[in-house]
Amino acid sequence: MNSKIAHATIAGSFAAALSMLAAPAFAAPKAPQPTMDKCFGISMKGQNDCAAGAGTTCAGTAKTDYQGDAWKYVAKGTCASIKTPKGSGSLEPIKS
Amino acid sequence: MAAPFETSFAQALLGTEPALPPGLAAHTAAVPARRFAVYRNNVLASLGAALARRYPVIERLVGGEFFAAMARQFVIRHPPRSPLLAQYGEEFADFIAAFEPARELPYLADVARLEAARTRAYHAEDAMPLGADGFAALDAGALGDIRLQLHPSAAILRSPFPIVTIWAMNSGELELRPIETGQSEDALVVRPHMDVEVRALPPGGAAFLRSLADGLPLRDAIGVALADHAGFDLTGNLAGLIGSGVVRAILSPAARTS
């Protein structure tokens, strides 16, 4: 049979797939929530053109540069809960 | 073609060190360095905020301070090419991959690719996915020959890291708990209706969907998927194909002549 897959195999799997659709095989982290509508012109879930867009206020107002190109920041988010082969994901301290 | 003054203004705006564009003057000061610094900071801060809106999971993973500083470096190197801020930051994942201070978070770039794919899916063309009845009507004898058109919002991502789990845990979809990065995960991002959905693909599923997206007939796509992973489960993947809404249409219907 090699790489050729028999018609019967495909047809059988298709029939089985159609019958098992109540249980989706591609695992979604959460069932889709049909509670929100896509509303044009209105922002949703942070996908809008951003609160700091043209003509709006934003956090940067009236501040001047606080840094040049120097890099001193350390990642302090949830990355510490993610283990990599090299150890925890925490970036304390940065080796530079 | 920008005028010389505009060119030097833009260069000063995005330079790594604050510098006043030659010839800039204000009614309050002959050399308005402070005013220009405020303007410059507003440009960088607002573009950084736009980036944070598009990559909220990356911001959560590294923390706000790290993200803001990283975004600033990105903005300087990749200023917007389009007035649509929703599309800003396409190059962010590649930037992260090459960003030295983030090197100890090797999964970060792939998670950013997942977030970018979600935004693209959100703004993609609306299209009704093909339902189960559309598949059920096909001629069973010629199923291997069908070619499919995937949904315009669909994106398939492959990663050696558990990007779907990391994304889900940091976007509120799953409870946060310690995980190992050894587990690879492939993702399907699609918006069949109103909501963008992120799904983890089973073994061989990404190769299967990409082959179908490339226009291979179903039989050949199955062959590619089996070559990619011997554990490819045809029935499960077909159920996912139909149930996820990732198919928009059958391009070559099963032949009725045979």
* Nearest C-alpha in A relative to B162: A82
Name the residue among A54, A34, A82, A43 with its Cα closest to residue B119: A43
To the nearest whole Å, the CA of A2 is away from the closest chain B CA by 9
pLDDT over 80 at B252, yes or no: yes
With a cut of 90, say whether residue A4 has pLDDT above it: no
A94 forms bridges with which residues in the sheet? none
Q: Are strands B179-180 and A82-84 parallel, antiparallel or unpaired?
A: parallel
CA atoms of A66 and B158, how far apart (whole Å)? 38
Q: Which of B187, B255, B190 is nearest to B217 (CA)?
A: B255
Dist CA B202 CA A26 (whole Å): 7
Cα separation, A53 vs A40, in Å, equals: 17
Q: What is the pLDDT of residues B82-104, one digit of tens each?
A: 988 888 999 999 999 999 999 88
Contact A21 B242 (CB under 8 A): yes
Cβ contact B101–A79 (<8 Å): no
In this complex, is the C-beta atom of B134 within 8 Å of any C-beta atom belonging to chain A? no
Residue B170 at interface with chain A, using a CB cutoff of 8 Å: yes
**CA-to-CA distance for B86 and B100, rounded, in angstroms?**
26
What would the pLDDT profile of A35-93 be if each residue is shown by its tens digit?
444 444 443 344 434 344 444 444 444 455 555 555 666 778 887 777 766 555 444 43
B120-155 tens-digit pLDDT: 999 999 999 999 999 998 888 889 999 999 999 999
Domain assignments of chain B as residue spans, ordered by start:
1-105, 127-258
Q: Indicate which of B151, B156, B194, B211 best probes the interface with A, i.e. most A CBs within 10 Å of its own CB.
A: B194
Q: Is the pLDDT at B15 greater than 70, yes or no?
A: yes
- Provide the pLDDT for residue B108: 96
**pLDDT band per the 50, 70, 90 thresholds, residue B62:** very high
Q: Which of residues 192-231 of B touch A (CB under 8 A)?
A: 193-195, 197-202, 205, 218-219, 222-223, 226-227
**Could you say which of B72, B84, B180 has the minimum Cβ distance to residue A83?**
B180
Residues forming beta bridges with residue B109, ordered by sequence position: none
Among B165, B41, B171, B109, CA closest to A47? B171
CA distance B29 to B20: 13
Chain B residue at shortest CA distance from A37:
B194
- Interface contact flag, B45 A58, Cβ < 8 Å: yes
Q: How do residues B21-57 score in pLDDT, each as one tens digit?
A: 888 888 888 888 888 888 888 899 899 999 999 999 9
At residue B128, the pLDDT reads: 96
Write out pLDDT tens, residues B184-236: 999 999 999 999 999 999 999 999 999 999 999 999 999 999 999 999 999 99
**pLDDT given at position A33:** 46
DSSP string for A44-76 = -TT-SS-TTSTTS--TTTT-----SS-------
Please tell me whether the peptide bond between A93 and the residue prior to it is cis, using omega within 30 degrees of 0.
Answer: yes
Report pLDDT for A34. Answer: 45
**Strand blocks (E) in chain B:** 147-150, 155-159, 179-180, 185-190, 197-201, 247-252
Q: How many Å apart are CA B190 and CA B199, to the nearest integer? A: 8
At A75 the pLDDT is 77
Contact B235 A47 (CB under 8 A): no
Do residues A90 and A81 lie in contact, with contact meaning Cβ atoms separated by under 8 Å? no
